[in-house]
Amino acid sequence: MSAHRVAVSLPRIGVTIGHAPQKLKTGGIEPSRRARLEVLRRIVTRTVREERAELKWNRAVEARPYLERLIQLGVERGPLDEYTAEMMEWWLPEKDLITKMHEVIVPRFQDRDSPFTSLFRLPPQRLQQFIQNKREVWKRYDIGVLEIDGNPFPQIQADRVDQSESILDVLLADALRNHQKNLQEKLDTPKKSQ
Amino acid sequence: MKLPVRSLLAIRSASTAVASAENAVPASVPAATLSSEFFDHIRHQVYGDLKKVDKVVVSVRTEDKAQPVLVNRNVSTSFHCFNHISKHFADDAVLVEVHPSVGGAYFSSVNQPLQDQAEIRKIGFDSAEDVNLVNDAYWRSCSLVTAAFLKEALDVDVDFRFPRGNIENGYFSVDVKGLNGNVFTLDELNTINRFGKSYIREEKQFEVIAVPTSVAEASGIHGDHLVRIGRQVFSTDGPCINSTRQIGRFTIFRSKSSGKSVIVGGVSIPMKQPTSSYSWSLVAKNAVQKFSKNA
């Protein structure tokens, strides 16, 4: 009940929440709600520690709202809030990450609204799914990169530079313009049968 | 009469080439015969004895700092300075902006020797500034490369003029004198294109000399730069790119008769600006149409 009261007072997070929760499986735990939370907790912990995590797309999409909410709790309610402390302790089992969250990550977003994270899609990748006896089974997975904004790494997407005066753009723009002009002339020209 | 295909790829027995500038020749000084030996002679005249080594400090300006490099005066070029940074940094350089310790700043080719202590800045195809200079240099270089491999491919003694063109025209052109108005057939163009592409893949350097006005007038050179590509030498009025390695897609699409000379038209895209086959076909088709309309 306290979680619902806290959630109502918080602004809405600015990322998409999947309408179909994924069945997230992990080794050693039967697929269940608890197992799903364990997977998400590990992803959130890893992302807070590394600030950029490359993982399967469905897991990245599923974990992103939880990471957003966790950062939002730190920004909106601060470290002294009882509910925030409880959530930090649960989602970040490694205690030094709680310190990092409050002293490094949360101050970045004090004057900023959600979203606090970014999600990028990488090309599909063929990963080893499991090994059965001596047989390896591989499968293609969509890969995503989940990162906390303001991280010290080079940006994934380069800034868009205006290349309108480059040789290729000048030639291609002129070619397309003339191509369009020729098509228009063909349309305006009456047909021979008429 | 059409030129036979067999004669197109015959290599000239003479190793030198003759080229003339686009401007009219003054009556007082005859036009110079541009050859590789003449190029070496002018280089010796401008830069002095290559055996004498003087050191000079050149500062290479990158994005965040200026790195000093100790190089040889009148021997080392900006390319050698950029190589001290990294090979990729040097290979991506198209032009260079030189701020000498004495005198005003100017733009030069990467392969032009440095004459004094200076600060240099690399200009590439992806530079937001000086885009027009890069485009003009690339277009000029494509014309020179076309003249160079045509000189080596054709069996007859030909001269070249370079009509002033820009990238907005959609094509570059070379005026070939000595073919008596005989244009190339489609088969001959295909052969020329194959030879030209193999020539470009050899990664020939554009050796450039900035010729002072006094030397140019005394030697009969019409232009302020001498450029050597392989064994072919031409005079031009501006800087050139680093090497033929920077030339990407390239084609000579058509030739047309203009009196007794033949104007050869082509189009090219830099290696650093890749594009799809469909886009390239649009660009080439547009170039053909514009070249034909200007007949």
pLDDT of residue B40: 87
**Within-domain flag for B223:** no
**Within-domain flag for A40:** yes
Query: Quick one: B161 and B60 in the same domain?
Result: no
Q: From the candidates B131, B171, B172, which should be mutated to test the interface with A, based on the most A CB atoms within 10 A?
A: B131
Q: Which chain A residues are Cβ-neighbours of B290 within 8 angstroms?
A: 178
Q: What is the CATH number of the domain that holds A130?
A: 3.90.1030.10
Q: Please tell me the distance from the alpha carbon of residue A44 to that of residue A67, in angstroms, as a whole number.
A: 6
Query: Quick one: B140 and B286 in the same domain?
Result: yes
Which residue in chain A is spatially nearest to B288 when comparing CA positions?
A175
Among B129, B154, B179, the domain boundary falls at B129
Query: Quick one: B69 and B170 in the same domain?
Result: no
Please list the pLDDT of chain B residue by residue as tens digits (295 residues): 333 443 444 433 333 344 444 344 444 566 777 788 889 888 788 888 767 778 889 999 787 778 898 888 788 999 989 988 888 789 889 998 998 988 889 889 989 898 888 989 889 988 887 888 899 899 989 999 999 998 888 877 788 878 867 788 899 998 887 887 888 888 888 899 989 989 997 888 898 989 888 888 788 887 878 889 987 899 887 899 989 979 998 999 888 888 878 888 999 989 888 889 999 999 998 999 889 877 5
Q: What is the CATH number of the domain that holds B252?
A: 3.30.980.10
Are A167 and B283 inside 8 Å of each other by CB?
no
Query: Quick one: B19 and B117 in the same domain?
Result: no
Q: Which chain B residues are Cβ-neighbours of A163 within 8 angstroms?
A: 126
Q: Phi and psi for A101 in degrees, rounded to 5? A: -60, -45
CA of A185 to nearest chain B CA: how many angstroms apart? 15
pLDDT of residue A2: 66
Give the Cβ contact number of residue B268 at 10 Å: 26
pLDDT of residue A90: 92
Total count of domains within chain B? 2
Work out whether strand B118-123 and strand B55-61 pair parallel, antiparallel, or are unpaired: parallel
**Within-domain flag for A16:** no
Q: Which chain B residues are Cβ-neighbours of A168 within 8 angstroms?
A: 269-270, 273, 275, 279, 283
**Within-domain flag for A192:** no
Total count of domains within chain A? 1
Q: Which residues contact A194 (CB under 8 A, 6 or more apart)?
A: none
**Within-domain flag for B263:** yes
Q: Which of A162, A168, A176 sits opposite B273 (nearest CB)?
A: A168
pLDDT of residue B4: 42
Q: Which of A161, A163, A178 sits opposite B289 (nearest CB)?
A: A178
Please list the pLDDT of chain A residue by residue as tens digits (194 residues): 467 667 777 887 888 777 576 768 777 776 777 788 889 998 999 899 899 998 889 889 889 999 998 999 999 889 988 899 989 989 999 889 999 999 899 999 988 787 899 999 899 988 887 788 887 888 778 899 999 999 999 888 777 677 687 889 899 899 998 888 888 888 888 765 54
Report whether B88 contacts B114 (CB < 8 A).
no
Q: Which residues contact A56 (CB under 8 A, 6 or more apart)?
A: A141, A142, A143, A144
Residue B83's domain spans which residues? 48-129
pLDDT of residue B168: 80
Query: Quick one: B194 and B266 in the same domain?
Result: yes
Q: Which of B138, B167, B282 sits opposite A175 (nearest CB)?
A: B282
Q: Please tell me the distance from the alpha carbon of residue B40 to that of residue B58, in angstroms, as a whole number.
A: 25
Query: Which residue type is seen at B212?
Result: P
Residue A115's domain spans which residues? 33-148
Q: Please tell me the distance from the alpha carbon of residue B130 to that of residue B110, in angstroms, as a whole number.
A: 15
**Within-domain flag for B149:** yes
**Within-domain flag for A79:** yes
Query: Quick one: B269 and B199 in the same domain?
Result: yes
Query: Quick one: B89 and B109 in the same domain?
Result: yes
Are B289 and A176 inside 8 Å of each other by CB?
no
Among residues B126, B132, B112, the alpha carbon closest in space to that of B224 is found at B112
**Within-domain flag for A194:** no
3-state class of B206 per DSSP? strand
Tokens, residue B30: 């005859």
CA of B250 to nearest chain A CA: how many angstroms apart? 12
Query: Quick one: B117 and B246 in the same domain?
Result: no
pLDDT of residue A165: 78
| Helix, strand, coil share (%) of chain B residues, nearest 5 | 35, 25, 40
Query: Quick one: B136 and B199 in the same domain?
Result: yes
Report whether B225 contacts B241 (CB < 8 A).
no
User: Does the bond joining A115 to the residue before it have cis omega, within 30 degrees of 0?
Assistant: yes
Q: What is the CATH number of the domain that holds B65?
A: 3.10.20.30
Q: Which chain B residues are Cβ-neighbours of A174 within 8 angstroms?
A: 168, 170, 286
